[in-house]
Structure 1
């Protein structure tokens, strides 16, 4: 039976990540909690934390806040300031290759190269989400009526991938072949980067608020339903013409968080009532990791070895599950 080390952090958990073997919880009040080994608390922002993301390229946590700052917490616990743009809110952050980082504020997207050079580009619409391609210094942003692809180091005009509606977040597939966005409506939309071919992913009863790529990028797991919805991306056309997998179906509560295992075809699924299941793709075998809590699971993350799972909720309930017991 899995064992849980519980924590009561007393604040909305925006993001949890593992930096090396250390679980980190980024709270909406601007603090970062590192509870293991006696525990420590770092203040990343004056005022609220608005966004946080794990940077898989550099094994660090990136955060943005109401104070106009972008901060980075490294694997050794060092907290550093990457950028400060004054009295402007940072709405999205992302890590990129070779130490790059990107962030959005209002209608401006910023890209910081590994050497500290900061480039900015203005768009006609608000920059809702930002992501880096897995190779090269190329960014995607989510915006109203679609997504834009551009190279921050050049003055070339961005390529616009159009689809009507409000697009809130954006991600490249791990192989760089596809760009996918979450939308204000209950849907995802995607494009094939090589030719802009559309991919519609609809049928959700609620808005998709969390997603996770599986090992090797075969599937994109998403929330927004009473089951985790996994779209297949291994073929040349992505999920088009293919039915998604539905894992961990429960008729009485919604999936609110997903985290794919780092090496196996297995998914951790968090629910509205605080329950967490682990489910295998192939046979849909389920293992109960947490019976439930008092609030929806907001965020989850595996450690690199795939044995420990950190989770955080909307009320500050948090913990680390050891699936080996």
Structure 2
């Protein structure tokens, strides 16, 4: 049976993640908590935390604040300021190769290069989401009416990938063949990188606020429906002409968070009532990991071994689930 170690914090949990196999929780109040045989607290952003993302290249959590600051919290739970641009809301942050850092604030996409140089591209409308390509220093940012691709180390303007509407988050497939955005409307949009072919993924009753690529990049799992919706991306055309998998269906209870297992075709599914299931792709077999709680699940992440899940909720409930018991 799965074993749950619960925690209770004072507010919204923005990110729950493992750094060097230790569980960390980033809260909207600007604190980051390491729960490892006790509680260690980093006062990362006292003015308030807007976004937090794990760095795939180093054991640290990148946190963006309401005061224009980006702070890194390492595995020792020590905070270090990386960037300060004045009183501007940091909408999103991402780590790139060779120590690069990308972030979005207002109408600007920024990249801080390895040498410390800060490059800025000002767009006509607000920049919402930001992501680095799997290989090379190529950045994508989500914006109104599409996304843009930028090589910030080169003196060339970003290349536009157009589609009408407000695009809120952006990400590359693990193999770099596709670019996908979430939209203000209840949809995803995608482009095939080799030729810019469009991919439209619709039918959601709510906005997609959580997504996760499967271990081999064959599926993109998403929230925004009463089931986890998994779009197939293994073929040349991605999900076009193919039906998605629907896993963990629960009537009218909405999926609010998804996290694919790091090695197996399994997805953790978190719901608006706090329940968490693990579901296998092949046969839709479900395992109950958490019965529920007082608020929607906002964040989930597996550890490197794929044995434990860290999770957090809107109401400050959080915990570690050991699926092996």
TM-score of the aligned structures, taking structure 1 as reference length: 0.98
How big is each residue's C-alpha offset from its partner over 1:4-47, in whole Å with a ceiling of 9 and x where there is no partner? 11000111001111112111111001000112222111111121
**Residue-pair matches, total:** 325
Would the aligned equivalents of 2:33 and 2:77 in 1 still touch at CA under 8 Å?
Answer: no
Q: Name the structure 1 match of 2:305.
A: 305
Q: CA offset at residue 123 of structure 1? A: 1.1
Q: CA offset at residue 117 of structure 1? A: 2.5
C-alpha distance in 2, partners of 1:60/1:112?
A: 17
**Where in structure 2 are there 5+ consecutive unaligned residues?**
none
Would the aligned equivalents of 1:58 and 1:99 in 2 still touch at CA under 8 Å?
Answer: no
Q: Could you say what secondary structure the match of 1:268 adopts? A: strand
Q: Name the structure 1 match of 2:217.
A: 217
Q: Name the structure 1 match of 2:28.
A: 28
Q: Name the structure 1 match of 2:190.
A: 190
Q: What is the alpha-carbon root mean square deviation over aligned residues?
A: 1.0
C-alpha distance in 2, partners of 1:216/1:100?
A: 25
Q: Name the structure 1 match of 2:118.
A: 118
Would the aligned equivalents of 1:274 and 1:295 in 2 still touch at CA under 8 Å?
Answer: yes
Q: Could you say what secondary structure the match of 2:90 adopts? A: coil
Would the aligned equivalents of 1:46 and 1:66 in 2 still touch at CA under 8 Å?
Answer: no
Q: CA offset at residue 60 of structure 1? A: 2.1
Q: CA offset at residue 154 of structure 1? A: 1.4
C-alpha distance in 2, partners of 1:87/1:216?
A: 40
Q: CA offset at residue 48 of structure 1? A: 1.1
Q: CA offset at residue 137 of structure 1? A: 0.7
C-alpha distance in 1, partners of 2:143/2:285?
A: 38
C-alpha distance in 2, partners of 1:308/1:74?
A: 20
How big is each residue's C-alpha offset from its partner over 1:67-90, in whole Å with a ceiling of 9 and x where there is no partner? 211111223433211111011111
- Structure 2 matches for 1:68-83, cutoff 5 A? 68-83=68-83
How big is each residue's C-alpha offset from its partner over 1:280-304, in whole Å with a ceiling of 9 and x where there is no partner? 1011110000011011111001000
Q: CA offset at residue 193 of structure 1? A: 1.2
Q: Name the structure 1 match of 2:52.
A: 52
C-alpha distance in 2, partners of 1:19/1:114?
A: 22
TM-score of the aligned structures, taking structure 2 as reference length: 0.98
Q: Could you say what secondary structure the match of 1:312 adopts? A: strand
Q: CA offset at residue 122 of structure 1? A: 1.0
C-alpha distance in 1, partners of 2:224/2:293?
A: 19
How big is each residue's C-alpha offset from its partner over 1:148-197, in whole Å with a ceiling of 9 and x where there is no partner? 00111112121100100000000011111111000000000000111110
C-alpha distance in 2, partners of 1:66/1:293?
A: 29
C-alpha distance in 2, partners of 1:182/1:161?
A: 14
C-alpha distance in 2, partners of 1:219/1:76?
A: 34
Q: Could you say what secondary structure the match of 1:46 adopts? A: coil
How big is each residue's C-alpha offset from its partner over 1:241-283, in whole Å with a ceiling of 9 and x where there is no partner? 1110100001030000000001110000000111000001011
C-alpha distance in 2, partners of 1:110/1:221?
A: 28
